[in-house]
Structure 1
Amino acid sequence: MMENLEVFVDTVRAGSFSAVARRRGVAVSSVARQIDALEGELKASLFTRSTRALQPTDAGNLLFCRAVKILSDLADARSEVISFEAAVEGVLRVSCLPTFGRRYVVPCLAQMFQTHPGLSVELDLTERLADPTTERLDLAIRFGHLPDSSLFSTKLADQSYVICAAPDYVARHGTLQSLNALAGHRLIDKRRSQSPLGWREVLGDDFQYGHCVFEADDFDAQRQAAVAGAGIVRLPDWVVGHDVGVGALVVLHPDGLPAADVTGIHLVRALPRPSARLKAFVDALADFIGRPASWQRAMRRKTSRKAESASLESPG
């Protein structure tokens, strides 16, 4: 029955038998038979079926809520049992922001797979706040301040936001002397319909803003636009730190800028005891990022080089 429940939950989420069949690599008729078997066992219709839509009935909605918890509890129990074993194997399910996943998670996997050939990873790159409990994730990587919850978290690294632009932009438009001077500059922003992290949401409505030349819901797209000289951007240091380190971006320190709010990058899980495969992943990611984090080291090296250069150029 558990396999039928899994197929049922997947069908409710996907909205069609064909989508579930493609993901599982089986025939559509096989998915339909498992749903039929579940309906026969429960003696209830779980879906209203038509050629245009597949909608859960009231009984289907009730079963879905219960089934998600049952499957989550079963996955938790399985993970707790596996955590007692020394072997690192099985599927690890992780969720994080697309930019962080591409830049830090994916590059650390190759060495981990060589060390643990029985391990595989399912990586969900998403802007939404994934829930490890309801979505059966081993780990969600979250950023900023964590709300109080029943989840267990470990801090991976610090993060803070910086304002920066390409040297070419600064040469053409001048540096940002103060926050009030934003009205005379070209800005790169987070899409405000997608996130509370844009310029206005952070600095308030009292400031006069310049021309917003580019909005994107992806940090890396904003970073690329800034490196190309399109405008001034405000991004987490883990997004732009390496660009600052090589001189592709320069950090701006306008008058009136509040002190940087240092928050964190957190590894969030539902289980109190991490599995062996989760421990292996966390160790690999922490080693890849380093302590202090690689982006912080890159920015500090740039600051040190600038200080040395200024010292050499000063008279006497």
Structure 2
Amino acid sequence: MLKDLEVFVAVVEAGNFSTAARELDVAVSSVTRRIDGLEAELGRPLFRRGTRRLVLTDAGQHFLGTARNVLLELTEARDFLSSSDAEPRGVLTIAAPSAFGRRHIAPAVRSFLMKYPHMKVDLQLSDKVIDLSVERVDLAIRIGRLTDGDLVATRLAPLRRLVCAAPAYLEKAGRPGTLRELVDHECLTVSSKPTPPGWWTFPGLNRGAPLPVSGRLQCDDTETLLDAAVAGLGVVHLASWLVGDCLHEGRLVSLFSSDDGNAVKDAPAIYAVRLPGRSHVTRARLFLEHIRGHIGDPPYWDRPLPRCA
């Protein structure tokens, strides 16, 4: 099958069977048999024949991308195995959301560059979701649920949101005993409408809709909400990767001992994604191995909190 794919791509690039046969150093009849067999296996024609130059059918055009991706993946895998003892080098382009990238990807990049002195990294931090079919990015970090089935995704960590408040706030306002009591507290909320998926949402409460919490501060920047919570202005519902340090330092307190609302099927997570055929696979895999070791399992920001006396 792989040889058939090589012949198919060669014919497309050459424009006819005879030129492809010369480039492959085989007989024209061999090329014809390969294409005929491939079309028979797929159950549809890949070329419209009868013209001076072969023209791809719609099925052929669609199949061309898949064939090129498979061959590229195989070439990258062979290169990786043949050069596994060589010093990795080249440029790797990584895109990540701003806050997560600054806190967790940038430190991993620094240690990656120290480990591989001949590698270069172009780290792009932005909250804009990059279209990998347009932008030349080798690896992108996505947080949430994946919607693009064409991407190759590696799950790095679960996405857990925790209800937290500062000790100063709890001393003044009291600690809510149940999730339902959050509606009676000063809550720091995201300003975008509708409320993003997962925010202030807990299984078994409010029929799956966000709790109708409110407060004096709304903001579209999660780090600003975090700073306000640490200052004692109210309760937040933020990702554990964002609040982990504050919890361990005692600047925030997690209000509910269990991970209410996160242990659900198909829960959102943190992924590294790439587009087959558009990334430097060997370099991407090298960084994936490094970042997974850097984050750990469970991730370092979800390490157990010290027990309170």
- 2:268 matched to 1:245? no
In structure 2, the gaps of 5 or more residues are 1-64
Q: Which residue of 2 aligns with 1:65?
A: none
Q: Which residue of 2 aligns with 1:268?
A: 273
Q: Mapping of 1:125-274 within 5 angstroms? A: 125-147=125-147, 149-193=149-193, 196-197=196-197, 199=199, 207-217=211-221, 219-253=222-256, 258=261, 260-261=263-264, 262-271=267-276
Distance 1:225 1:234 in 2: 12
Deviation at 1:199, TM superposition (A): 4.4
Distance 2:75 2:138 in 1: 11
Relative to the length of structure 2, the TM-score reads 0.63
Q: Mapping of 1:114-133 within 5 angstroms? A: 114-133=114-133
Deviation at 1:276, TM superposition (A): 2.8
CA contact (8 A) 2:188 2:225 kept: yes
Q: Which residue of 2 aligns with 1:279?
A: 285
Report the 3-state secondary structure (helix = DSSP H, G, I; strand = E; otherwise coil) of the residue aligned with 1:211. coil
1:285–1:259: structure 2 CA closer, same or farther, 3 Å change rule?
closer
Distance 1:137 1:95 in 2: 7
Distance 2:198 2:187 in 1: 10
Give the number of the structure whose alpha-carbon radius of gyration is greater: 2
Query: Which shows bigger deviation, 106-115 or 201-210?
Result: 201-210
Deviation at 1:105, TM superposition (A): 0.9
Q: What residue identity is the alignment partner of 1:291? A: D
Deviation at 1:91, TM superposition (A): 1.7
Q: Mapping of 1:72-87 within 5 angstroms? A: 84=80, 85=83, 86-87=86-87
Distance 1:206 1:161 in 2: 13
1:195–1:237: structure 2 CA closer, same or farther, 3 Å change rule?
same
Q: What residue identity is the alignment partner of 2:219? A: E
Q: Mapping of 1:95-114 within 5 angstroms? A: 95-114=95-114
Q: What residue identity is the alignment partner of 1:185? A: H
Deviation at 1:193, TM superposition (A): 4.6
Distance 2:74 2:283 in 1: 9
CA contact (8 A) 1:192 1:198 kept: no
Deviations 1:49-84 (A, max 9, x none): xxxxxxxxxxxxxxxxxxxxx9xx99x969965954
Aligned alpha-carbon RMSD (Å): 3.4
Deviations 1:240-293 (A, max 9, x none): 1222122211111299x6464453211111127863322222222222212221
CA contact (8 A) 2:99 2:223 kept: yes
Report the 3-state secondary structure (helix = DSSP H, G, I; strand = E; otherwise coil) of the residue aligned with 2:305. helix
Report the 3-state secondary structure (helix = DSSP H, G, I; strand = E; otherwise coil) of the residue aligned with 1:301. coil
Q: Which has the larger share of helix?
A: 1
Q: Which residue of 2 aligns with 1:51?
A: none
1:138–1:301: structure 2 CA closer, same or farther, 3 Å change rule?
same
Q: How many residues align?
A: 229
